[in-house]
Structure 1
Amino acid sequence: MQDSKLVYSTDTGRIKDTQQSSERSVSKDGVVRIKRETKGRKGKGVSIITGLDMDAKALKAMCTELKKKCGCGGAVKEGTIEVQTDDRDKLKSLLEAKGHNVKLAGG
């Protein structure tokens, strides 16, 4: 009998999760949203892109392309793309050129 919350067993050692869920940030209405966030970053602004229905490799490739075009850093975290720039209009135009429906969210 296998318990789904079992992490360690004295019989077999550490139990690895066989079914890993790919982390995706999918919006219900099909709109990609770009929001600006400074919380927990010592006042530095970061643009967070959510709602892209892509797998992990495609998200990483999209993040790399956006970072190169904006000339800044960034990362893929929990199915979202974080780009270290406040230029949300440039990100919006780049994503719209790729065929995404984009909205600027937040302030």
Structure 2
Amino acid sequence: MSPSRPVYSTELGRLCPGCGAAVNACTCKRSSAPVGDGHVRVRRETGGRGGKTVTTVRGLPLDEAALLAVAKQLKAACGSGGTCKDGVVEIQGDHVERIMAWLTGQGWKPKRAGG
């Protein structure tokens, strides 16, 4: 049996299971691991957004900081707003072709997903 260790501290809050430090001061770099699977998919979605259209990019094998940088560059290339949530880049509006061209120019091999 492995020795038990705390997962929460009233002083620090949630603790990282890897290093035992507070999650926001984690030293084991668990959150910097690439999120995507390498298959870059670009898709137009409207579900759950009150009828608004967004273009999503999934599968980029980048850490969180690099993904935020790509999201910023895509927003500038499309002249639109957007965000990065849970490893998915969301750009407001229907920009599938423009995003696919930009990703191809950056050396990725994107695939159009959905309909």
- TM-score, reference length from structure 1: 0.81
Say how many residue pairs are matched. 101
Structure 1 residue 80, shift from structure 2 partner:
1.3
* Unaligned segments of structure 1, at least 5 residues: none
In the alignment, is residue 58 of structure 1 matched against residue 66 of structure 2?
yes
Q: Distance in 2 between matches of 1:95 and 1:15?
A: 37
Q: Distance in 2 between matches of 1:85 and 1:71?
A: 10
Structure 1 residue 93, shift from structure 2 partner:
0.1
**After TM superposition, which residue ranges in structure 1, 4 or more long, deviate above 6 angstroms?**
none
Q: Distance in 2 between matches of 1:78 and 1:22?
A: 12
Q: Tell me if structure 2 keeps the 8 A contact 1:23–1:79.
A: no
Q: Classify the secondary structure of the residue corresponding to 1:21.
A: helix
Q: Percent identity?
A: 36
**CA RMSD, aligned part only?**
1.9
* Unaligned segments of structure 2, at least 5 residues: 22-27
Cα deviations by residue, 1:23-63 (Å, 9 ceiling, x for unpaired): 64322xx3210111111110001111011111111111111
Structure 1 residue 98, shift from structure 2 partner:
0.1
